[in-house]
């Protein structure tokens, strides 16, 4: 992020509110939300975060005593969902390549909820951080081995190519506790090419770099197993824009 970009963002906050209060939770204003049209409505944004928190409780045994890492946390959709459903948690670490997202979360969520911290990682992603300094393939997430009971990535592998996905999966195997698990969403289908960017005639018209990266079930499973993990549960096309939900364990 350039100095000019930072100044422009700071100036903007003097004139336009960065937050909306909804059902007692501080949400990002609409222009600061990720996820296209799906989360523009305040209730849709908050209830989707609550749904994701409840699913982590059911699928990953998330409790107030857990430590969770939310990779590609955006402007705090899951963090806010956890605040609403569980109220607090032992440790929540959000990481993202977007300075705007990390600054918003740090400014508006951490002060009232100190267990929720947010870290900017300058990893290159052609869609979200094209000028990023580090390549995901060489990147070590800034946490100790065995730090997390739960790792979540919602709509993140849907915008990453396989070398980057492989490297993150290896990092997750390092960062998970022995009983820990990963919840993620991705475009995964049977009987398609191993990997394809913006596939035609698939769900909708995809435009721009890494709008949709689709993997075959078989290829995705191979990448998971190469990292020393396994797929323990899936729901096909259950999530945003037809992504599938996957649970990974050791």
Ligand X SMILES: C[S@@+](CC[C@H](N)C(=O)[O-])C[C@H]1O[C@@H](n2cnc3c(N)ncnc32)[C@H](O)[C@@H]1O
The contact set with ligand X (CB under 6 A) reads 34-35, 71-74, 77, 95-98, 101, 123, 125, 128, 136, 154-156, 159
Comparing CB distances to ligand X, the nearer of 25 and 125 is 125
First-to-last C-alpha distance (Å) of the chain = 37
CB of 191 to ligand X, least distance (A): 26
CB of 34 to ligand X, least distance (A): 4
Comparing CA positions, the residue from 17, 209, 175, 180 lying closest to residue 95 is 175
CB of 55 to ligand X, least distance (A): 12
3 state SS for 41-63:
CHHHHHHHHHHHHHHHHHHHCCC
CB of 89 to ligand X, least distance (A): 17
Backbone angles phi, psi at 136, to 5 degrees: -55, -30
CB of 45 to ligand X, least distance (A): 8
Mapped onto helix, strand or coil, the DSSP state of residue 119 is strand
Neighbours of 148 (CB within 10 A): 24
In angstroms, the CA 83 to CA 116 distance is 9
DSSP for residue 202:
B
Comparing CA positions, the residue from 65, 103, 78 lying closest to residue 25 is 78
Region of 199 on the Ramachandran plot (φ > 0 left; ψ -120 to 50 alpha; else beta): beta
CB of 207 to ligand X, least distance (A): 15
Region of 36 on the Ramachandran plot (φ > 0 left; ψ -120 to 50 alpha; else beta): left
């Amino acid at each position: 992020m350039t100095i000019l970009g930072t100044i422009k963002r700071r100036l903007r906050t003097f004139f336009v509110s960065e937050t909306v209060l909804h059902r007692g939770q501080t949400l990002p204003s609409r222009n600061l939300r990720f996820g296209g049209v799906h989360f523009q409505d305040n209730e849709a944004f908050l209830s989707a975060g609550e749904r994701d928190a409840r699913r982590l409780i059911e699928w990953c045994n998330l409790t107030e005593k857990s430590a969770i890492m939310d990779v590609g946390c955006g402007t705090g959709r899951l963090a806010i969902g956890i605040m609403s459903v569980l109220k607090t948690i032992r440790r929540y670490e959000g990481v993202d390549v977007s300075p705007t997202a990390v600054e918003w979360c740090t400014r508006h969520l951490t002060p009232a909820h100190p267990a929720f911290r947010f870290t900017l990682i300058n990893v290159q992603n052609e869609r979200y951080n094209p000028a990023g300094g580090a390549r995901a393939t060489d990147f070590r997430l800034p946490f100790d081995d065995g730090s997390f009971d739960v790792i979540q990535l919602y709509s993140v592998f849907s915008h990453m190519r396989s070398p980057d996905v492989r490297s993150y999966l290896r990092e997750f195997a390092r960062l998970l506790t022995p009983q820990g698990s990963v919840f993620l969403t991705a475009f995964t289908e049977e009987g398609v090419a191993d990997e394809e960017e913006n596939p035609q005639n698939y769900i909708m018209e995809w435009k721009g770099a890494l709008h949709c990266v689709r993997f075959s079930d078989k290829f995705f499973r191979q990448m998971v197993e190469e990292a020393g993990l396994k797929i323990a549960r899936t729901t096909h096309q259950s999530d945003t824009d037809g992504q599938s939900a996957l649970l990974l364990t050791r």
